[in-house]
Structure 1
Amino acid sequence: MNTKKILIITYYWPPAGGPGVQRWLKFAKYLPEFGWEPIIFTPENPSYPLIDESLMKDVPENLEIIKTKIWEPYQLAEKLNKSNKKFKAGQFDVGNNQSWKSKLSIWVRGNFFIPDARVFWVNPSVKFLEEYLKNNKIDVIVTSGPPHSLHLIGLNIKKKFSDIKWVADFRDPWTEISYYKHLKLTNKSDKKHRQLESEVFKNADITLATSYTDAENFRKNGANALCITNGFDESDASKTSADSVSSTKFTLSYIGVLEQLRNPENLWKALDDLVKTDSDFAENFSIKFVGRIDDRILESIEKSSLRNYINNLGYLSHDKAIDEMSSSTMLIITNFPNESSKGIIPGKIFEYLATGKQIISFGPDEADVSKILQETKAGKHFSYTDSESIKQFILAKFELWKSGNLVKNNQNIEQFTRRNLTKKLSEIL
């Protein structure tokens, strides 16, 4: 097989934690099986919101990794206001939770750093890669965003090396992402964001989306867009430790980052009602949080009857998080409530699917997540206005659990394995 070379430009790379790192880490792991040699270009001194050393084991042994220095203004921002740490993960205080410092910081972030605060890495990277590409044969370059500033590296390279194919990979949308409207943009800044996004769409040979709806929206905006979803790695799913025995309680678990813009208040209300009105449920029920839960959300839940049922484990390594998924009864996933977010498919849903556990999902109507849950028979999707139907769904699952009849559901999930998704990527390439 004639091996071709693919240069992957990514901000997130182990030991970065969280979902952003796993997409191209897993592609890099399996690409050699399909005739592609991956080379990674990533910052030497990044400012990661989360660290997870356990992901280092997935980095292929002989992988070439090129690192150059990056300057980011986040350290300055965090001195101004410690809640600015949330910005690194795309989180914001909203509504009445916003202090004047938060408002100022958001305004500065949206209007001074376009498209984002990693933009200072663009010019040095372009300069470095111009020399590298003159001396090394590369067939395809990939830019993975967010941060979407990395797509500007691809745009500049494409203009100078038109024979090299460029894949712009959007793990999340740019101007269509829910928090975009919270950036307090001036008309001029908004226009600049949209102009840069449009240039990326028009110049990339292929734009990859992680959801069906995003791919459709990108095509409407001029991109040659295709969808390759995120997925689960069978080797991760098969390594759940012996410790991950099922809980003796009926345990609902949220794994990952939970922020104010994706807070399922109607779920907490339904659970609060259930523990108050159903003594059998109250005696057997538990909520587990694994990851970073926004302080305001935690405070609000702790003011309700649910305070005695919370098991907050904080951030855990990826391996341990999978163990916690496997020991749960049901798994919670949330999306932004607005219709423009129906195309977002949170990456962890695929790892949820691999466990065979029932999933309860929250987001806009007709969301892509809802289609996946229907196709795999793995759970149910609700909007943020649903209430009584949530209680009925949870109670039905509780009764099945009590009688020992809550069986595993994981139909049609092979299409979401990382190896099969990489095969699809190699066919596109």
Structure 2
Amino acid sequence: MEPKKILIITYYWPPAGGPGVQRWLKFAKYLPEFGWKPIIFTPENPSYPLIDESLMKDVPENLEIIKTKIWEPYQLAEKLNKSNKKFKAGQFDVGNNQSWKSKLSIWVRGNFFIPDARVFWVNPSVKFLEQYLKMNKIDVVVTSGPPHSLHLIGLQLKKQFPNIKWIADFRDPWTEISYYKHLKLTNKSDKKHRQLESDVFKNADVTLATSYTDAENFRKSGANAFCITNGFDESDSSNSQTLQSSNSPTKFTLSYIGVLEQLRNPENLWKSLDDLVKTNADFAENFRLKFVGRIDDKILDSIENSSLKSHIDNLGYLSHDKAIDEMSSSSMLLITNFPNESSKGIIPGKIFEYLETGKQIISFGPNEADVAKILDETKAGKHFSYQDSDVIK
């Protein structure tokens, strides 16, 4: 029996690093076991903020990968905001200390590139895939966002090929994501974002969310939505059976793995740890704060201006394999989510890899978050709001 074919349209693909690549890389790896043949459509020359060559090993040898060129306006964006490359990574400064260049780059991003700066890939991709679909039998098309502009590819293909099933996969929400309100949108731009989102919800045969709350919210907006959470791949660990007992740290080590921007900065945690270091000599002697990934410079500056400075191990971005090793060599692991109520449904993919290690987890985010429910059900840690302070001790 011939396997069914599923065309996966994704911007992030190895050697891209970071969380965006993991979900459909793993689906492509394991779908053949369930009678599906995945085909990947991805940019030939993408502008990835992070590179992780170690993920190439997960790409099946016989996987069909189709690539076309993409034009992205990030050279202009980075000239406007040279201090870092946050714009490209979906991050930006917030608060009263924004430079005029940062403010301009945010305004340009929200109002000129709708829904995002990969929108220039939509029409060329549709034109290419229209010909591909005429010549190749495809049963299902999947679009993975963000970038949500990829859903516009699916939207146009669905109109041209109504018999093909279309799955719109939302790894993060669109207009309900925490930073949406910081995009400085005009009323016209906001209306356009919301209309495009609504068009995707109403035309996709299935909308996937990575959390139950997001799926419920999508259904309220007219989507035929279901939840498939992220997970972990046991093969990512060289010896998954001994993860919980391996690499025990010599000191109490609290580790954060991943990207940390200002919107998810647990300031009260740093203050509490600072107080503990100052007032508890035993704790100070045996405490390390480890960062693995891209941490906002202003967050690092604020921590380094405290008593925590001599307790920090900032390892920078590591390959996925090495990041998992650092998780397993920690005493406790930290997760931070956006603080607003609309983000309570976001479940960071790394929580499942955190759970695999068996280490205790401390989490920050809105009350009644899906992450809190997972930690309660698994008894793997505790969740706090950003307003909590002394309770952390």
Equivalence for 1:343: 345
> Which AA in structure 1 matches 2:271?
K
What is residue 281 of structure 2 aligned with on the other side?
279
Residue 85 of structure 1: how far off its partner (Å): 1.7
Q: Which residue of the partner structure matches residue 294 of structure 1?
A: 296
Counterpart-to-counterpart distance in 2, 1:252 and 1:19: 21
Aligned counterpart, 1:60: 60
How does 1:417-428 map onto structure 2 within 5 Å? none
Match of 2:360 in 1: 358
Partner secondary structure for residue 288 of structure 1: strand
Shift of residue 238 of structure 1? Answer: 4.5
The aligned amino acid for 2:375 is: L
- For residues 280-319 of structure 1, the C-alpha deviation after alignment (integer angstroms, 9 at most, x for no partner) is 1111111000000100000000011000100000000000
Which residue, 267, 270, 285 being the options, matches 1:265? 267
Judge conservation of contact 1:232–1:351 (CA < 8 Å) in 2. Answer: yes
For residues 295 and 97 of structure 1, the distance between their equivalents in structure 2, rounded to whole angstroms, comes to 13
The residue that corresponds to 2:325 in the other structure is 323
Q: Which residue of 2 aligns with 1:18?
A: 18
How far apart are the structure 1 equivalents of 2:10 and 2:309? 40
* Higher relative helix content: 1
Where do residues 10-409 of structure 1 align in structure 2 (5 Å cutoff)?
10-83=10-83, 85-239=85-239, 245-391=247-393
Q: Which runs of 5+ in 1 are unaligned?
A: 392-429
8 Å CA contact 1:256, 1:290 repeated in 2: yes
Contact 2:142-2:166 within 8 A present in 1 as well: yes
Paired AA for residue 309 in structure 1: H
Structure 2 residue runs of 5 or longer lacking an equivalent are none
SS at structure 2 position matched to 1:359: strand
Cα distance change of structure 1 residues 124 and 84 upon mapping to structure 2, 3 Å threshold: farther
In structure 2, relative to structure 1, the CA distance for the partners of 1:238 and 1:356 (3 Å cut) is farther
Q: C-alpha separation between the residues in 2 aligned to 1:368 and 1:82? A: 36
Any idea what the Cα deviations from partners look like across 1:78-100, whole Å, max 9, x if unmatched?
Answer: 12222462122211100123101
Identity %: 88
Q: Does the 8 Å contact 2:86/2:92 carry over to 1?
A: yes
CA distance in 2, matches of 1:175, 1:48: 23
Aligned CA-pair RMSD = 1.3
| 1:412 match | none
Q: Which runs of 4+ in 1 moved over 3 A?
A: 237-244
Q: In structure 2, how many angstroms separate the alpha carbons of the residues matched to 1:335 and 1:356? A: 21
In the superposition, the TM-score normalised over structure 2's length comes to 0.98
Q: Residue 154 of structure 1 aligns to which amino acid in structure 2?
A: G
The residue matched to 2:330 in structure 1 has which SS? coil
Contact 2:292 2:315 in 1 (8 A): yes
Q: For the residues of structure 2 that align with 1:184 and 1:25, how far apart are their CA atoms?
A: 33
Q: Offset of 1:138 from its aligned partner? A: 0.1
Q: Which residue identity does 2:72 align to in structure 1?
A: E
Counterpart CA distance in 1 for 2:388 and 2:182 is 25
What one-letter code is carried by the residue in structure 1 that aligns with 2:20? G
8 A Cα contact 1:158 1:164, kept in partner = yes
* Aligned partner of residue 85 in structure 1, secondary structure: coil
Instruction: Provide the C-alpha distance between the structure 2 equivalents of 1:169 and 1:157, rounded to a whole number of angstroms.
Output: 15
Contact 2:256/2:333 (<8 A) preserved:
yes
